[in-house]
Structure 1
Amino acid sequence: MTWNKIRPYLMISPAILVFSLFFIYPICYMIYLSMHDWNFVSPEKNFVGTANFTNLVSEKEFIEVMQNTFVYTALTVSLTIIIALILAVWLNKSGTIYGFVQGAIFSPHIISLVSISMLWMWLMDTDYGLLNWFLNLFGLPSVPWLTDPSTSLLSLAIVAIWKGIGFNTLIFIAGLQSIPRDIYEAAALDGTNRIRTFIKLTLPMLSPTLFFLTIIGIINSFQVFETISIMTQGGPINSTNTFVYYIYEYGFRFFKIGYASAAGVILLVIISIFTIMYFRLLARRVHYQ
């Protein structure tokens, strides 16, 4: 083998080494641990085969965790994209005020989730929160945002939507500005109204952006942890417990590493299947310029 054939592999070997060390190896080790019973302290790992997976899928708490995760993902991804798209269409103009608004709505994206969670805990406090103060100001009853199982998951979704709107809006604005102006001029000459132009021209041309933001939003929603850990700890009555927090609890609070690893494998499989299906079924409808 000549030097010219070896050199490319040597050049990419650092990246391959890092990827293998921090991505491939942890995944393989997680699969290995998912088939063992280990308490994180004892050097002995007892092989149990698929017992951890069998116990997981038959457990009521884990089924509730899956439901919570899917509901949370559906709420945050859909509402964030819809609101961000509306804001992007409105802000896709030149002017100081529009630039100021873009910076204002993007600012939550750069704030840490810990700070945001602490802020929203105060805003959503049942007795002293600012949101309930506004509701009472107009004669409306207080809402138990984080203490009632019927509203707690929606409250966490509101926090995620508030944080994610700014990033999605700026990405949509970049997508809108990349659409050639002559397309809209041709539509105007044909007498096409704004609504029809948006549906027939803007949305298809924005499909790569929609595709990207949907995938990123789904992955981020499945991995939510900080807001749950700080604001609700999975409660009340398991109503806000999601995949990653469930894995954390069983791994680092109950020291059931095999059980937590099995849940991690299931999460990995779900995200992988969904991503593959999304690419195969919806990527055909993405219109690249």
Structure 2
Amino acid sequence: MTTVESPPDSAPSESAQRSTPTEAELAAARKRARRRASSKNWALFLLFAGPNILLILAFIYYPLISNMYYSTLDWRLGSPTADPVGMSNYIRFFTSPSGLEVWRVTAIFTAGAVIGSMVLGLLIALVLNKKIPGRTAARTAVFSPYVLSGVGVALVWMFIFDPQRGALAHILAAFGIDSPAWFLDGDWNLVMVIIVYVWKNLGYCAVVFLAGLQSIPKDLLEAATIDRAGAVRRFFSIVLPLLTPTVFFLLVTNIIFSMTNAFDILRVMTPSGNGTNTIIFEIYLQAFGQYNRAGYSAAIAVVLFFTLFIITAVQLRFVERKVHYQ
């Protein structure tokens, strides 16, 4: 009887070889999966962020680019024609006596507003950080002016500064002092608006400083007290270094705010300028005030934009090195 031997195991069939994917096929499949996931993420991003991006392009970048174009024109509001003048508007602003006066007034106002708001805000925050009766009401009262309308604040302070019937004139008269000509003298005009701006915005600085003070670890202050460090030494050795992130934040924001957000106070208290022509107020006066020079005003607005950009970049590059983050 003949026995039939079974054939030896043969190599896998072609169909089995086809069912096992190669490394190249697996890599291609992973790439397609990543591409689909990326496309899905981009679709979701455009769905949610697209409307905001369109609004930013329409209401921020398009006006900015258009303003740069208008700054190269000799154009008056309402005029159907405009003459290209290149960089003449910029040269005029940087070389004319009126342009140099705008820089001087802007520097004085910004320095006075920023230093006054931050120093007084820090002092008030140090007081409100202590456990004293009624400190919650005091914090509310300090912060309240910041949320008030600038127009309303300016109107109230105009009455206070009135040389004849103002509250400040009566207080000075009690000490035998004549009230300065706040609304006639350009120097006193500038001092007046700085005082009002500081009063309105020091509550913002005080609240931010208060948040910074409350974030300082109590054990450091207690250890310094045990080591017999006085209040002044604790402030300069512990509190102030740990407050540098808050100081840096307020320095950046206050410089921007003082150069851009003081228009309402300036417009109400000094309608024609007279010593208070900061750069933001000069933009208004040139375009909508007595000069009606829209092209020149657009050039000043572009200068303001790049000035703030440079100041902020310098602060982020150099000033932030002094900041001690916990």
1:16-27 to structure 2, matched below 5 A, reads: 16-27=53-64
Deviations 1:130-166 (A, max 9, x none): 1011000121222222221221101100000110111
What is the alpha-carbon distance in structure 1 between the residues aligned to residue 301 and residue 318 of structure 2?
Answer: 26
Is 1:116 matched with 2:156? Answer: no
Is 1:58 matched with 2:105? Answer: no
What is the alpha-carbon distance in structure 2 between the residues aligned to residue 14 and residue 192 of structure 1?
Answer: 56
Is 1:106 matched with 2:143? Answer: yes
What does residue 266 of structure 2 align with?
A: 228
1:110-259 to structure 2, matched below 5 A, reads: 110-223=147-260, 224-236=262-274, 239-253=275-289, 254-259=291-296
Deviations 1:98-150 (A, max 9, x none): 11211111111121011111101110011111101100012122222222122
What does residue 48 of structure 1 align with?
A: 85
Tell me how far 1:176 sits from its aligned partner: 0.6
What does residue 124 of structure 2 align with?
A: 87
Tell me how far 1:18 sits from its aligned partner: 1.7
Could you tell me the TM-score, scaled by structure 1's length?
0.95
Q: Rate the CA distance shift 1:252–1:23 in 2: closer, same or farther, 3 A.
A: same
| Residue pair 2:92, 2:99 contacting (<8 A) in 1 also | no
Which structure would you say has the larger RCO, counting Cα contacts within 8 Å and 6 or more residues apart?
1
Could you tell me the TM-score, scaled by structure 2's length?
0.84
What is the alpha-carbon distance in structure 1 between the residues aligned to residue 176 and residue 302 of structure 2?
Answer: 49
| Residue pair 1:234, 1:242 contacting (<8 A) in 2 also | no
Tell me how far 1:27 sits from its aligned partner: 1.0
Tell me how far 1:89 sits from its aligned partner: 0.6
Is 1:35 matched with 2:79? Answer: no
Tell me how far 1:234 sits from its aligned partner: 4.1
Instruction: Specify every segment of 5 or more residues in structure 2 that has no aligned partner in the other structure, as ranges.
Output: 1-34
What is the alpha-carbon distance in structure 2 between the residues aligned to residue 286 and residue 20 of structure 1?
Answer: 34
Q: Rate the CA distance shift 1:200–1:71 in 2: closer, same or farther, 3 A.
A: same
Aligned length: 287
| Residue pair 2:125, 2:207 contacting (<8 A) in 1 also | yes
Moved more, 255-264 or 141-150: 141-150
| Residue pair 1:88, 1:172 contacting (<8 A) in 2 also | yes
Tell me how far 1:12 sits from its aligned partner: 2.1
Is 1:68 matched with 2:105? Answer: yes
| Residue pair 2:245, 2:324 contacting (<8 A) in 1 also | yes
Moved more, 24-33 or 187-196: 187-196
* Identity, % of aligned positions: 34
Instruction: Specify every segment of 5 or more residues in structure 1 that has no aligned partner in the other structure, as ranges.
Output: none
Tell me how far 1:5 sits from its aligned partner: 4.2
The list of structure 1 runs, each at least 4 consecutive aligned residues, that deviate by more than 4 angstroms after superposition, is none
